[in-house]
Amino acid sequence: MLELLTRLGLPANLSAQGGTIDDALVWTHILMVILFLFWAPFFIYTLIRFRKSKNPNASYKGIRSHFSNYMEGGVAVFEVVLLLGFAFPAWELRVNEVPPAADAEIVRVVAQQFKWNVHYPGPDGEFGRTDVSLINDEVLNFIGLDYESETAKDDILPPQGHLHLPVDKPAIIQLSTRDVIHSFSIPVMRVKQDVIPGMRIPVWFEPTQTGSWEIACAQLCGNSHYEMKGYIHIHTQKGYDAFMDALSIVNEIDDYDLTFEADKKLNKVIKFLRAGDAETAESFAVEAKSLAKIALQEKEEMGEEDEWEDWDEWE
């Protein structure tokens, strides 16, 4: 049945927890097929056998057997099994059996009209303070991060719409929105969660394959809802660490002239993940990291020079 659904269009499941969802899909469709295979021939046979020209006198009583009671009972039993065997455990897994924070990658995603903002806590593991009054799209502070706060200094904000995660490690995404309702949907990860204003809702999943896929908005959020697309990049663990380190350093340098080379490599990482070549992507991530480090050194050296220059001017 799973094969049939896949042939019809169901994308392959690339997550560890998604199997429970596919089980429910498979078993409900099996029940559908059974009922359909039972009723369709009955229906067609009845119409042919009891047409007026064949059967001019109707029977007052009709069917006397109670097979329909058994069938209804059968449906009820099947549904109980679906609930207890598949539906309840799957929801328990989704809501209550969240992997411990220490073993998981915790990321915040803040939706806004037609974009997904991704917010990593950085090495300290704590998210910086955010405040709606600090939102300023012109300086690219889409989530209102308070750069003054201690915990915000090492936070990492990749370009809008790009979520990076390591493979084979649970990810806990804390979802919130700054305007209207959105819905965070990654079909291949079997993830979908509404994002409700005024709430921060966690959802977790565990990618099992490296590569690059899309995040869709599944809830009508305005006129460009159809363009609200994001990307999810699943790295090898090593590649992910290097990528995030590089990104963090690049953010810290904040000077495109210096990080130009490292940025190029970071783009290559994404390009190779898309092509399904995680190993090459990993090596580019490592390269990006070392280039970023070099850039950082350069900046520090330049920084000293700059100070001297400033000093000169001051003199």
Partner 1 sequence: MSSAYHDEGFWRKYVFSTDHKWIGIQYAVTALFFLLIGFCLILVMRWQLAYPGEAVPIIGKLLSEEGMLTPDLYNSFGAMHGTIMIFLGVVPLAVGGFGNYVLPLQIGAPDMAFPKINMASYWSFFVGGVVMLASFFMPQGAASSGWTMYPPLSVIQTTGETMWLIGMVFLITSSLLGAINFITTVIQLRTKGMTWMRLPFFVWTQFITSFLLLLAFPPLESAAILQLMDRLAGTSFFLPSGLYVGGEVLNVSGGGSPLLWQHLFWFLAHPEVYVLILPAMGIVAEIITNNTRKPLWGYRSMVYSLIFLGFMSFIVWAHHMFLTGMGTTMAAFFQTTTMIISIPSVIILSAMFISLWGGSIRFSVPMLFALAFLPMFGIGGLTGLPLGLASADIHLHDTYYVIGHFHYIVAPGTLLALFAGIYYWFPKVTGRKMNDSLGRIHFFGTFIGMNGVFMPMFIQGLAGVSRRLYDGGTTYLHAQPVLQWNEFMTISAILLGLFQIPFIVNFFMSIKRGKKVSSNPWEATTLEWAAAPSPPIRHGNFSSVPEVYHSPYEYNVPVNGTVEEFVPQNKVLEVE
Q: Which residues contact 33 (CB under 8 A, 6 or more apart)?
A: 1
Query: Rounded to an integer, what distance in angstroms lies between the CA atom of residue 130 and that of residue 302?
Result: 32
Check if the beta carbon of residue 272 is closer than 8 Å to that of residue 285: no
Give min distance, CB of 253 to partner 1, in A: 29
9 near partner 1, judged by CB under 8 A: yes
Identify the residue among 125, 229, 260, 301 touching partner 1 (CB under 8 A): 229
Give min distance, CB of 120 to partner 1, in A: 21
Identify the residue among 108, 119, 190, 235 touching partner 1 (CB under 8 A): 190
218 near partner 1, judged by CB under 8 A: yes
Query: Rounded to an integer, what distance in angstroms lies between the CA atom of residue 10 and that of residue 141?
Result: 37
36 near partner 1, judged by CB under 8 A: yes
Minimum CB distance to partner 1 smaller for 49 or for 100: 49
187 near partner 1, judged by CB under 8 A: yes
| Segment lying near partner 1 (by CB under 8 A), choices 33-41, 117-125, 249-257, 263-271 | 33-41
Q: How many residues touch partner 1 (CB under 8 A)?
A: 92
Minimum CB distance to partner 1 smaller for 161 or for 293: 161
Query: Rounded to an integer, what distance in angstroms lies between the CA atom of residue 194 and that of residue 55?
Result: 56
Give min distance, CB of 311 to partner 1, in A: 41
Q: Which residues contact 162 (CB under 8 A, 6 or more apart)?
A: 118, 230, 231, 233, 270
304 near partner 1, judged by CB under 8 A: no
Minimum CB distance to partner 1 smaller for 31 or for 294: 31
Check if the beta carbon of residue 214 is closer than 8 Å to that of residue 186: yes
83 near partner 1, judged by CB under 8 A: yes
Give the CB-side neighbour count of residue 41, counting CA atoms within 13 A.
Answer: 5
221 near partner 1, judged by CB under 8 A: yes
264 near partner 1, judged by CB under 8 A: no
Give min distance, CB of 123 to partner 1, in A: 28
198 near partner 1, judged by CB under 8 A: yes
Sort strands 191-195 and 182-186 into parallel, antiparallel or unpaired: antiparallel
Minimum CB distance to partner 1 smaller for 178 or for 299: 178
224 near partner 1, judged by CB under 8 A: yes
Check if the beta carbon of residue 295 is closer than 8 Å to that of residue 262: yes
Minimum CB distance to partner 1 smaller for 20 or for 283: 20
Query: Rounded to an integer, what distance in angstroms lies between the CA atom of residue 214 and that of residue 221?
Result: 18
Minimum CB distance to partner 1 smaller for 100 or for 198: 198
Give min distance, CB of 61 to partner 1, in A: 7
| Segment lying near partner 1 (by CB under 8 A), choices 191-199, 253-261, 280-288, 305-313 | 191-199
Between the CA of residue 165 and those of 56, 226, 269, what are the distances in Å? 70, 25, 13
Check if the beta carbon of residue 217 is closer than 8 Å to that of residue 111: yes
**290, 228, 235, 238: which is closest to 259 by C-alpha?**
290
Amino acid at 86: F
Identify the residue among 37, 43, 124, 150 touching partner 1 (CB under 8 A): 43
Tokens 């199997």 locate to 19
Minimum CB distance to partner 1 smaller for 86 or for 243: 86
